[in-house]
Structure 1
């Protein structure tokens, strides 16, 4: 008599991704970023851990592999407040239905206070553009998350007293240490997701993603124009440009018929 087939083991991808991020953050804590350039460092994966975890569980709750990973560089205003990549408040709270407690860090930048979902400052242009692109094309956020996951290469936001400091403006030795830690986390997350296509949002993210091709970990890497309000090309019509770039890349995402 033949043995009954063994049922597949359920893979809790959300818990695995959160564990990988926790290990990444623990390693980054050993690096010192404060300098003449950088006066404050925010880690929303820690002080906004609850909404961030709720976002990860929402995205990966269906249990299946995720074909496409959208890769950003590091947090801006939206994620600093909500813990969600490109986390414009209305998109996170009202469209995704993600919420949770945000406990402001002790050493806050007085020009960039953390108020979580009570934030009433200027909306993040990048987040508004990115998530509204999907809202105009699908019925629910789950229609996106069944096929794609959005993740930032680095979980930290760097600031001077009055402005953001781009990750690629850190000193080269420090950046290399940071990138090695974040790169390993990215590799581990790719393996958990089962993603075969990566879309780099902006040139820095594309460059990091291209290393996955070199390592034989994914099949395709494509570039997506960054939706930043500081990007002149994006200000000329990011929605249309993004649609064209993704369509030409043959990305199997939920576009309208």
Structure 2
């Protein structure tokens, strides 16, 4: 039943956005897309990536695969339509959804209180096709808090005051929109997948990242964590028509060693990189 609901929701969004209709632009480059259609094109890229990732076959230890862009599509669509309507100077790129963040809310680093209280987004969230008992999806009723999201959005709330001041020049994006888990619920990151599955996943996500950078005319990509930084560097090494720079920001996860003062460290890093002015 959840599978049918998720497919219906995706189909309805595509219909609403007219994503299945032939483009009046023909073969026109994504880079020349009108500003009014940025959010629509962005969602199209994300949905296409999500659908392509469903074709991948993951081997052990991956037991469960969550697609938040299916079951949490409603809040994600609000996020994109509200905050991804213009070109961006800076784009922060995370790795993939966390169990208590984007897996619950559909928004990158989407810690519950940040999304509900700061973004004022609180839309309906359904269930993944196969749910891990240890990683139940309850959407905005989730009582757990994602520390990474709490830290990164807390930093920008302190710097920006209101979300609009952050999204005026920046956007937050996840390189890979799916979450993978072991039987007991332990996270399996894209970097931990081996062999052909990892190659295919990175091929798809690399292509989408490049297209998003071109669409938003991103001048600076900030990889949140080494994996995201590495993927961005690899993508832009092949082709970089906008001369986009790639910078690094320490990941806010408490699992990262010596990371107790992440907020202070990250703010200093933004200042050193001369990015702080975008958020003040």
TM-score, normalised to structure 2, is 0.83
Displacement after TM superposition at 1:9 (Å): 4.8
Q: Give me the whole-angstrom Cα distance separating, in 2, the residues matched to 1:101 and 1:132.
A: 24
**Match for residue 125 of structure 1?**
147
**Match for residue 227 of structure 1?**
252
5+ residue gaps, structure 2: 1-32
Q: Give me the whole-angstrom Cα distance separating, in 2, the residues matched to 1:203 and 1:125.
A: 18
Q: Give me the whole-angstrom Cα distance separating, in 1, the residues matched to 2:278 and 2:65.
A: 36
Q: Give me the whole-angstrom Cα distance separating, in 1, the residues matched to 2:192 and 2:257.
A: 20
Q: Give me the whole-angstrom Cα distance separating, in 2, the residues matched to 1:220 and 1:19.
A: 25
Q: Give me the whole-angstrom Cα distance separating, in 1, the residues matched to 2:143 and 2:276.
A: 36
5+ residue gaps, structure 1: 1-7
Residue from 58, 67, 73 that aligns with 2:95: 73
Q: Secondary structure at the match of 2:246?
A: strand
Q: Secondary structure at the match of 1:100?
A: coil
Verify the 8 A CA contact 1:147 1:253 in the aligned structure 2. no
Query: How many positions carry a matched residue from both structures?
Result: 244
**Match for residue 175 of structure 2?**
153
**Match for residue 135 of structure 2?**
112
What per-residue deviation string (whole Å, max 9, x for no partner) do you get for residues 164-206 of structure 1?
1121111222101011011111111111111110000000000
- Quickly say closer, same or farther: Cα 1:128–1:10, change in 2 above 3 A: closer
- Quickly say closer, same or farther: Cα 1:213–1:181, change in 2 above 3 A: closer
Q: Secondary structure at the match of 1:80?
A: helix
- Quickly say closer, same or farther: Cα 1:45–1:250, change in 2 above 3 A: same
Matches within 5 A, 1:48-197: 48-61=72-85, 64-77=86-99, 78-121=101-144, 123-162=145-184, 163-197=186-220
Q: Give me the whole-angstrom Cα distance separating, in 2, the residues matched to 1:197 and 1:253.
A: 14
Residue from 243, 251, 254 that aligns with 2:267: 243
Q: Give me the whole-angstrom Cα distance separating, in 1, the residues matched to 2:198 and 2:255.
A: 23
What per-residue deviation string (whole Å, max 9, x for no partner) do you get for residues 217-255 of structure 1?
4431110000001112222x1011111211111226444
